[in-house]
Amino acid sequence: MKRKQLIDHIKEKKSYLCVGLDTDITKIPRQLEPNADAIFEFNKQIIDATKNHCVSYKINTAFYEAQGLKGWEAMEKTLHYIPETHFTIADAKRGDIGNTSAQYAKTFFETLPFDAVTVAPYMGEDSIRPFLEYDNKFTIVLGLTSNKGANDFELQQSGDKLLYEKVLEKVSTWGTIDNLMFVVGATQAEEFVNIRKIIPQHFLLVPGVGAQGGSLKDISAYAMNDDIGLLVNVSRAIIFADDAKKAADEYHQEMAGYLK
């Protein structure tokens, strides 16, 4: 999917909601457990309930890989069930030496035709370059995460800057706004103003709203740019809600208010 298509869909729908399909098989409704493909059946129900309120789906591959072949099959079926209008993300956090990354890129851009994949930048440009070689695909690089461990490296001083600031500056030179996005955790809301000074035009994938306590209001105020530039991911607070459609609609209505 091209950047313009994503922007147009966001503006048309008045939503920048990304639904995270972190489908934990131990948490799906009991009535689905006897189903031979319970994960896919659960995902189908979530997609049917939320597709009118979101513009994107993020599949956290760990929940599927943990189930072996069955999980991979469920992931592939889920991906193909998502409407073509919606931006699809493989939350895989890959990144390795060049020839290995080339295989990861092939996995998530060809074998499983996602629109985007998350990657870790620690090993440098040659570990990310193979993903950037694909047309109309996005590489979403971990920038500033919302976990406690962000203090171990990302928020450490490195010369005159914090390490995550150097990562954003450096990685942004490897691609363009048409093929690069960055992950910034919602619980780091106070950093969004600074982040937008470093990467004013790139899209940000923002996890951490909902169960992790991030503020949609703050993110929208501090991180939105002229092209919206945001995909706010909500996983557990929607997919394991008593009413997924209602939960997604509530986020949709709040987002629509910020887009007026």
Beta-carbon contacts of 15 under 8 Å, excluding residues fewer than 6 positions away, are: 53, 54, 55, 251, 252, 255, 256
- For residues 60 and 80, is the Cβ–Cβ distance under 8 A? no
Give residue-wise pLDDT tens across range 107-133. 999 999 999 999 999 999 999 999 999
Mean predicted lDDT score pLDDT of the chain: 95
pLDDT at 186: 83
Q: Closest Cα partner for 122 from 147, 160, 96?
A: 96
- For residues 244 and 46, is the Cβ–Cβ distance under 8 A? yes
- How many angstroms separate the Cα of 15 from the Cα of each of 20, 53, 100, 123? 15, 7, 36, 34
Task: Please determine, for residue 211, whether its predicted confidence score (pLDDT) is greater than 70.
Answer: no
Domains of the chain by start residue, with CATH: 3-258 (3.20.20.70)
Longest Cα separation, the chain: 57
Task: Please determine, for residue 83, whether its predicted confidence score (pLDDT) is greater than 80.
Answer: yes
pLDDT at 188: 73
Task: Please determine, for residue 216, whether its predicted confidence score (pLDDT) is greater than 70.
Answer: yes
Mean pLDDT across 211-239: 91
pLDDT at 209: 83
Give residue-wise pLDDT tens across range 133-165. 999 999 999 999 988 899 999 999 999 999 999
Q: Where are the alpha helices (DSSP H) in the chain?
A: 3-13, 38-50, 62-65, 69-81, 98-106, 125-132, 163-171, 192-198, 216-223, 236-239, 244-258
Can you give the pTM of this predicted structure? 0.96
Q: Could you say which of 2, 11, 93, 245 is catalytic?
A: 93
Mean pLDDT across 242-259: 97
Residue 103: φ, ψ to 5°: -75, -40
Mean pLDDT across 84-105: 96
Beta-carbon contacts of 213 under 8 Å, excluding residues fewer than 6 positions away, are: 187
- Whether 93 sits among the annotated catalytic residues: the reply is yes
Task: Please determine, for residue 212, whether its predicted confidence score (pLDDT) is greater than 80.
Answer: no
Rounded-to-integer distance, Cα 230 and Cα 200, Å: 11
Mean pLDDT across 193-213: 89
